[in-house]
Structures are given as C-alpha cells and as structure tokens.
C-alpha cells in the first residue's frame, strides 16, 4: 500500500506553532503544521489518520490465502491495502480482495478480528490497521492487477509453522492467526449480520446539527 492512498476526507489546515491537540477542538483554533483535519457541520474538528485493511481469507479447510509480496520476493502476505477516500471498511476490504485476489474469488465477509496502530515508515508513524476476516465462498484466487505476477497459495497454520513461511505483518503473529481461526469457526455457522449499515446523508449526530 502507498501512503498517498491513505484514508480520510482530508482538509489541510493553515500552519501554526500551536498544536491542535486531541480530537474535538472547535473550528477556528490554530492547527499544527501539515495536520489534516475535517470539520463537522457544528464546527468540531477531527484529526484524520491513514488507515489500511488486512483481509485474511480463510477456506473450509481452515487455510489462509497468501500471496507472495511483489516488493519482497519470498515473503507472503494476505490481501491488504489502504482505505481510500469515501470508503467504508467493508467496501475497502472487498475492493482489495478483487484487486489482489482477482474477480473470480467470491468471499463472505465475517467481521473485524483486530485493530491496531502501526508505523508504516519514518514519515507515516501512526497508521490504523483493521483486520477484516472473509470466508472463501467459491471460485479461484488469481493474482489481480495489484499483485500481477505473484504466486498464490493456501496454507494451514501447521504448514506455516512447519515450512517456516515468511509472513509479513500482522499475520506473522501466531496469536492473530489463531484468533482469526477461532472467530472463523464461530462466525461461519452463524447467520449473516449487518456488518455495515447505510450511511445516513445527514449523519447520526443530529443534536450537533441543531446547534
């Protein structure tokens, strides 16, 4: 993923030597140099952060879909990428599956396994990462445009360990792979849940709009 694809409807605020502080300061207060914020209808400012989705796709044999990283040959990763402007988490996760695993693979979204903050590089030091689990429903995984030329494989947890597969974060952590499988077993038999509700055009905070 590239930093320029980072998430958020962004508005660059004028430079100032006074930091804006935490979320929730009112519009009109000075902002830190280069800070990106968005303002609500009522004038409340929210600092924005780049964000990405990591999308473990698991099949009925409890194997993880892995693609060889085009930037790091010999290293494997799940579907992943930056959340684009105006996308919901679910939309971003499904788009990344299409772009990296191809249009033939059909998946069933199951839900969020984990969320954390990580340093992408020396410039993007606080990036939000959301691990969004999908079940493989049908079709074959074929590297899409974003992963063209990459190898693809399915690997069970014992294969990952026994073959010492080199995984990129965050699935290099055994506890996260285990948690992913535990939730897969819990959620697959359950009825589909409304994982993403429609976004109301006026938003949910009508009380703020009234002032």
Q: What is the pLDDT of residue 15?
A: 34
What backbone torsions phi and psi does residue 90 show, to the nearest 5 degrees?
-65, -45
Q: What is the pLDDT of residue 205?
A: 78
> How many Cα atoms sit within 13 Å of 38 on the Cβ side?
10
Contact 112, 131 (CB under 8 A): yes
- pLDDT, one tens digit for every residue, the chain (211 residues): 533 334 433 333 333 333 434 444 444 555 555 568 999 888 999 998 899 999 999 999 999 999 999 999 999 999 999 999 999 999 999 999 999 999 999 999 999 999 999 999 999 999 999 999 999 999 999 998 889 889 999 999 999 999 999 999 999 999 999 999 999 999 999 999 999 999 988 887 766 555 5
Contact partners, residue 191, CB within 8 Å, separation at least 6: none
Q: What is the pLDDT of residue 201?
A: 83
Distance CA 16, CA 31 (A): 6
Going from the N-terminus, what domains does the chain have, and what CATH number goes with each? 1-48 (no CATH), 51-187 (3.90.79.10)
Contact partners, residue 178, CB within 8 Å, separation at least 6: 157
Q: What is the pLDDT of residue 12?
A: 34
Contact 174, 83 (CB under 8 A): no
Gyration radius of the chain's alpha carbons: 19
């Amino acid at each position: 993923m590239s930093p320029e694809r980072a998430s958020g409807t962004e508005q660059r605020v004028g430079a100032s030597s006074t930091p804006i502080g935490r979320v929730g300061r009112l519009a009109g207060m000075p902002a830190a140099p280069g800070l990106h914020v968005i303002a609500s209808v009522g004038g409340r400012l929210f600092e924005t952060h780049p964000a990405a989705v990591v999308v473990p796709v698991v099949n009925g044999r409890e194997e993880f879909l892995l693609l060889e990283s085009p930037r790091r040959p010999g290293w494997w990763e799940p579907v992943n990428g930056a959340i684009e402007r105006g996308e919901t988490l679910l939309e971003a996760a499904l788009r990344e599956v299409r772009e990296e695993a191809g249009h033939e693979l059909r998946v069933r979204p199951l839900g969020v396994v984990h969320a954390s903050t990580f340093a992408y590089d020396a410039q993007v030091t606080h990036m939000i990462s959301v691990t969004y689990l999908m079940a493989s429903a049908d079709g074959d995984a074929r590297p899409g445009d974003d992963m063209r030329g990459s190898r693809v494989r399915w690997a069970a947890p014992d294969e990952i360990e026994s073959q010492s597969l080199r995984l990129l974060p965050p699935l290099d952590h055994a506890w996260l792979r285990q948690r992913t499988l535990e939730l897969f077993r819990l959620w697959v038999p359950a009825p589909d849940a409304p994982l993403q509700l429609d976004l109301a055009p006026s938003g949910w905070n009508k009380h703020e709009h009234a002032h």
